């Protein structure tokens, strides 16, 4: 179980780094989403997984048997929700970018940082 988690974590991180290094906007966003998934797995692993028992003290009992750690689960859930919202935003954003410029190449995004033609002075950016 632990080995599987660690292996999937490594694969996720490796794949996301590969995708993030791409110039294609969609790949970059997918890579960031995968890195988010890897980060969530990391939070989960940080809570020492092992038990699947819910951390609920039975009626009348004083102590909790070896139960799952609820804190990382709460943290992961929060992080998933936030990551989900950001992923949605990023997808809409790159869809709009693709409508403006079909190349979907992040190097082609130069409207804000135009290439200088004058060797000394920067180009004028219209307000």
Partner 1 sequence: MKSGSVLLERAAPLLYWAMLIIALAILLRGHNEPGGGFIGGLVAVAASALLAIILDPAAALRRQPLAPLRLAMAGVGLTLLSGLPAVFLGLPYLTHLWSGGWSTVLLFDLGVFCAVWGTLTGYLYPLLEADPR
Partner 2 sequence: MLLLLPILIPLAAALLAALLPARGQQMIGVAAALAQVLAAGTLLAVLPEGGRVSLMLGNWPQPYGIELVADTLSAALVLVSALLGLAVMLYSFGRDDQESATRNATTTPLMLGLLASVAAVFLAADLFNLYVWFELMLIATLGLLVGHGSARGNEAAFKYLALNLLGTLLVLVAVALIYAASGQLNFAALQVAGQWPDVAAGLRPYLGLLLLALLLKAGALPLFAWLPASYPVLPPAVLALVGGLLTKVAAYVLLRLSGQVFAVHELWLEALGWLALLTMLVGVLGAAYHWDVRRILALHIVSQVGYLLLGIALASPAAAAGTAYFAVHNILVKANLFLIAGLMFASAGHYDLRHIGGLYAARPLLAVLFLISAFSLVGVPPSTGFWGKFMLLREAFEQERYVWGGGALAVGLLTLYSMSKIWLEGFWKAHPEPAASAGAIPLPAYAAVLLLTGLILVMALYPEPFIHLAQVATAGFWHQGSGT
Query: By the criterion CB under 8 A, which residues form the site for partner 1?
Result: 77, 81, 85, 88-89, 91-92, 95, 99
Cα–Cα distance, 83 to 70 (Å, whole number): 20
Q: Minimum Å distance from CB 32 to partner 1?
A: 17
Q: Minimum Å distance from CB 11 to partner 2?
A: 16
Q: Of 60 and 96, which CB lies nearer to partner 2 in the complex structure?
A: 96
Partner interacting with residue 52 (select from partner 2, partner 1, none; CB below 5-8 Å by kind): none
Q: Please give the helix or strand (H or E) that residue 86 lies within, else none.
A: helix 70-100
The residue whose two tokens read 């809409």 is 92
C-beta of residue 90 within 8 angstroms of C-beta of residue 32: yes
Partner interacting with residue 88 (select from partner 1, partner 2, none; CB below 5-8 Å by kind): partner 1
Cα–Cα distance, 70 to 73 (Å, whole number): 5
């Amino acid at each position: 179980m632990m080995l599987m988690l660690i292996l999937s974590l490594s694969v996720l991180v490796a794949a996301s780094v590969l995708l993030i290094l791409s110039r294609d906007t969609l790949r970059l966003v997918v890579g960031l989403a995968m890195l988010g998934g890897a980060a969530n797995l990391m939070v989960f692993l940080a809570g020492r997984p092992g038990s699947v028992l819910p951390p609920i003290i039975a009626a009348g009992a004083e102590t909790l048997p070896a139960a799952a750690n609820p804190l990382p689960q709460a943290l992961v859930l929060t992080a998933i929700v936030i990551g989900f919202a950001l992923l949605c935003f990023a997808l809409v954003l790159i869809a709009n970018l693709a409508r403006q410029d079909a190349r979907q190449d992040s190097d082609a995004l130069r409207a804000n940082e135009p290439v200088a033609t004058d060797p000394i002075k920067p180009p004028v950016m219209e307000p």
